Structure 1
Amino acid sequence: MLLSSYERMIARRYLLPGRGEAFIALVAGISLIAVMLGVAALVIVMSVMNGFRAELFDKIVGLNGHAVVQGYNGVLRDWRQVLDDARKTPGVTSATPLIEQPLFATLEGRSDFVLVRGMEVPDILGNPTIRDNVKAGSLTSLVPNSGTVAIGSRLAESLGASVGSDISIINPQGPATPFGTALRMVSYRVGAIVEVGVYDYDKAFVIMPMEDAQTLLMLGDGVNMVEINTNDADRVERILAPLADKVGARGRLVDWRQLNSQLFEALAVDRIVTFTVLSIIILVAVFNILSSLIMLVRAKTRDIAILRTMGASRASLLRIFMTVGTTVGALGVGAGLVLGFVFLHFRQSVVGFIGLVTGQNIWDPTVRFLTTLPSKVDPVEITAISVVALLLAFLATLYPALKAANTDPVQVLRYD
């Protein structure tokens, strides 16, 4: 919107009303603050929700793959053939054998449920979700048949374990005896403590070489599943369709959507609802811009009439008042983006401060899954928020600007 020099001068004067118009300035300031808070709230919440989904996806898929072939009755005997078929499938980037079994662990009178995960040592060392999150010890200590394991950080806290501690893992499905099935208890030394960032895993993980897991669970040469990664997680069903036909007689193919469908669907619905609710804040701010412009037009009716008699056109007045309202909206959007990015940068400190003031743990990992507040800024989403806010602010200027442009100078100045 191109303005002439006198139109810019008048718009600037109306953006900063005089002493007698302090109330109009106050309403305009409130409008700016409301737009700022609305935009900041949307930026913060949507970025946090994007980060939450991305972190969950990275952690869960990083540990469980894009899909798994699960053996019927929990055991996959012919897993080497499944592994070979998976690796030959176009679009598959990796396939690894995996053992997972919920069991029970004890240490010096303390006990907790655990999730035993058996992997081949190269796969353990090559998994970035595990490899890059070692808090103590070393994964190189995990050697087949050495009796050494890695455990989650929260499980270490629960059991009071540290690197070098000996924990006992109990398998209720032990050897058969004349008196029934006996418990199988095996002692392992803690060689490393890992923290992947997902509470449920950090609270239960016991990672060991696959050979040790096979011995503990008495699986012989079998495994529970084969974990598969592809070059496109969103197309995993299409990529693995040929493999599903091949392994149908040996096991069941399940992708990450099926494994975590309820969680990710809930996140998607929550994201839409949150965006809709927070958009109302911007809508309220837009009504504030509308009301402040209406009051400004009423206060400046005589000035508008004089401008008309001096030759100002209706289009000129229209541009002036549309510029005033749009400028307030643009300043609010800019301030909101700055506030949102500052909050996101210091988000963990803000969470800690709020918890300190309120005395409540507002980010409890037992409820939130992740141990820290995540964030992921989506440029497309930020642009959409800004454009929508600016568009609403622009639309709010139309009625008062038209009202000003249609002012009849004869009627206003008749008795002056």
Structure 2
Amino acid sequence: MILSRYERMIARRYLLPGKGEGFIFLVAGISLVAVMLGVAALVIVMSVMNGFRAELFDKIVGLNGHAVVQAYGGQMRDWRQVVGLAETTKGVTSATPLIEQPLMATYNGRVEGVLVRGMRVSDIRSNKTIGSKVVMGSLSSLMPGSGQIAIGSGLADQLGAVVGSQISLISPQGQTTPFGTVPRIVQYTVGAIFTIGVYDFDKAYVVMPMEDAQTLLMLGDSVNMVELQTSDADQVGPILAPLATKVGKMGVIQDWRQMNAQLFEALAVERVAMFTVLSIIILVAVFNILSSLIMLVRAKTRDIAILRTMGASRGGMIRIFMTVGTTIGALGVVAGLILGFIFLYFRQSVVDFVQLVTGQNLWDPSIRFLSELPSKTDPVEVTVIALMALLFSFLATLYPALKAASTDPVQVLRYE
């Protein structure tokens, strides 16, 4: 929309308060603030929800892989063959044998349920989710037969354990006696403590060398599953389809979508619902722009009539008032984006401040899964939000602009 010099001058004049027009300027300012808050709310909420999904995905997939080959009956004796078949499958980047078993852990009279995970030493050290999150001790102490284990920070807090503490793991699969099965109790030394960032994982995981896990659970040379990583998590189904037919007799393949279907589907539904609800805020803000322009047109009726008698066209009047309304919307969008990005940058500080003022725990890791408020801004999503707000603002200018263009100077100036 190209404006002439006089149209730009008049539009700029109408954007600033004139004598006796303070109320109209106030309404226009409120409209700008409303658009700003609506855009900021959308950017903040969508970025936090994207971050929540991304963090959960990274943590869950970082530990459980994109898929697993689950053994029938819980024991896979031919796991080396499965690993070999997986590594030769196009699109599979790694195949890791795993042992996972829920057990009980005790220390100083405290008892907690744990999830024991046995991995090859090389896999433990190369796992970024665990290796980069060690807060105490070192994973280098974990060697087969050393009796060293690594535990989550949440579990360490619940047991009151530190590096060097002697923790006993209790397995129900013990020796059979005439009086029944005697649980197997083995003592291990805490060699490292790690923080994954997912509360449920940090309070339960115990990581040890695979050989020690096989001995503890009396599995011999068996494992429970083989974890698979692929080149594209979103295409895990087609990538693993050829492998599924090859390992069908040894186990069943489950990908991350099947293992966490309810969680990620709930996040997707909530994301769409929040976007829809918060978009209504922008729509309400746009109605403020509409009302302020209608009042501006009524206040400037005499000016419009004079401009029309001086040769201003109807199209010129339409462009002037559309420019005024769209400018208010555009300034609100820019201010909203700035406010949203500032809030996201200081999001954890804001949460901590609100918790300090209210005395309430707004981000309980036991409920929220993650230990900190996450954020991941999608540039495409931000662009869509900005364009949507601009479109709503533009549409709100149509009626006032057409009303101004239809002003009859003869009727207005008849008694002047």
The bucket for the TM-score relative to the shorter chain is over 0.9
Find the counterpart in structure 1 of residue 300 from structure 2: 300
Find the counterpart in structure 1 of residue 339 from structure 2: 339
Shift of 1:111: 1.3
Shift of 1:125: 0.4
Please identify runs of 4+ aligned residues in structure 1 that moved more than 4 A: none
Task: Give 1:82-161 correspondences, 5 Å limit.
Answer: 82-161=82-161
Which letter does structure 2 place at the counterpart of 1:327?
A: T
Find the counterpart in structure 1 of residue 264 from structure 2: 264
- Aligned equivalents of 1:359 and 1:76: distance in 2? 51
Shift of 1:48: 0.4
Find the counterpart in structure 2 of residue 230 from structure 1: 230
Task: Give 1:134-283 correspondences, 5 Å limit.
Answer: 134-283=134-283
Which letter does structure 2 place at the counterpart of 1:235?
A: Q
Q: Deviations over 1:380-402 (max 9, x none)?
A: 00000000000000000000000
- Aligned equivalents of 2:274 and 2:173: distance in 1? 47
- Aligned equivalents of 1:178 and 1:26: distance in 2? 88
Find the counterpart in structure 2 of residue 70 from structure 1: 70
Which letter does structure 2 place at the counterpart of 1:378?
A: D
Unaligned segments of structure 2, at least 5 residues: none
Which letter does structure 2 place at the counterpart of 1:104?
A: M
Q: Secondary structure of 1:149's match?
A: strand
- Aligned equivalents of 2:35 and 2:398: distance in 1? 18
- Aligned equivalents of 2:258 and 2:109: distance in 1? 38
Find the counterpart in structure 1 of residue 330 from structure 2: 330
- Answering whether residue 387 of structure 2 is matched by residue 387 of structure 1, we say yes
Task: Give 1:352-363 correspondences, 5 Å limit.
Answer: 352-363=352-363
Shift of 1:415: 1.0
Shift of 1:17: 2.2
Q: Deviations over 1:271-319 (max 9, x none)?
A: 0000000000000000000000000000000000000001111111111
Find the counterpart in structure 2 of residue 2 from structure 1: 2
- Aligned equivalents of 2:363 and 2:385: distance in 1? 26
- Aligned equivalents of 1:84 and 1:337: distance in 2? 50
Q: Deviations over 1:354-391 (max 9, x none)?
A: 11111111111101111011000100000000000000
Shift of 1:246: 1.0
Which piece of structure 1 moves more, 244-253 or 276-285?
A: 244-253
Q: Deviations over 1:162-188 (max 9, x none)?
A: 111111110012111111111111100
Q: Secondary structure of 1:185's match?
A: strand
- Aligned equivalents of 1:19 and 1:226: distance in 2? 77
- Aligned equivalents of 1:356 and 1:281: distance in 2? 29
Find the counterpart in structure 1 of residue 411 from structure 2: 411
- Aligned equivalents of 1:181 and 1:71: distance in 2? 25
- Aligned equivalents of 2:263 and 2:51: distance in 1? 15
- Aligned equivalents of 1:19 and 1:174: distance in 2? 91
- Aligned equivalents of 1:28 and 1:387: distance in 2? 20
How many residue pairs align between the two structures? 416
Q: Deviations over 1:163-215 (max 9, x none)?
A: 11111110012111111111111100000000011111001010000001001
Find the counterpart in structure 2 of residue 37 from structure 1: 37
Q: Deviations over 1:226-257 (max 9, x none)?
A: 00001011111111111111111111110000
Find the counterpart in structure 1 of residue 23 from structure 2: 23
Which letter does structure 2 place at the counterpart of 1:218?
A: M
- Aligned equivalents of 2:177 and 2:390: distance in 1? 76
- Aligned equivalents of 2:19 and 2:101: distance in 1? 75
- Aligned equivalents of 1:412 and 1:67: distance in 2? 75
Which letter does structure 1 place at the counterpart of 2:354?
A: I
- Aligned equivalents of 1:406 and 1:44: distance in 2? 41
Find the counterpart in structure 1 of residue 375 from structure 2: 375
Shift of 1:30: 0.6
- Aligned equivalents of 1:198 and 1:174: distance in 2? 32
Shift of 1:19: 3.4
- Aligned equivalents of 2:167 and 2:96: distance in 1? 27
Give the CA RMSD over aligned residues: 0.6
Which letter does structure 2 place at the counterpart of 1:213?
A: A
Shift of 1:348: 0.3
Which letter does structure 1 place at the counterpart of 2:271?
A: R
Find the counterpart in structure 1 of residue 286 from structure 2: 286
Give the % identical residues: 75
- Aligned equivalents of 1:287 and 1:173: distance in 2? 69
Find the counterpart in structure 1 of residue 313 from structure 2: 313
- Aligned equivalents of 1:228 and 1:297: distance in 2? 66
- Aligned equivalents of 2:400 and 2:177: distance in 1? 89
Shift of 1:53: 0.5
Q: Deviations over 1:84-130 (max 9, x none)?
A: 11111111000010011111001101111111000000000001111
Find the counterpart in structure 1 of residue 55 from structure 2: 55
Which letter does structure 2 place at the counterpart of 1:200?
A: D
- Aligned equivalents of 2:293 and 2:74: distance in 1? 69
Which letter does structure 2 place at the counterpart of 1:273?
A: A
Which letter does structure 1 place at the counterpart of 2:261?
A: S
TM-score, length-normalised on structure 1?
0.99
- Aligned equivalents of 1:174 and 1:8: distance in 2? 87
- Aligned equivalents of 2:176 and 2:93: distance in 1? 41
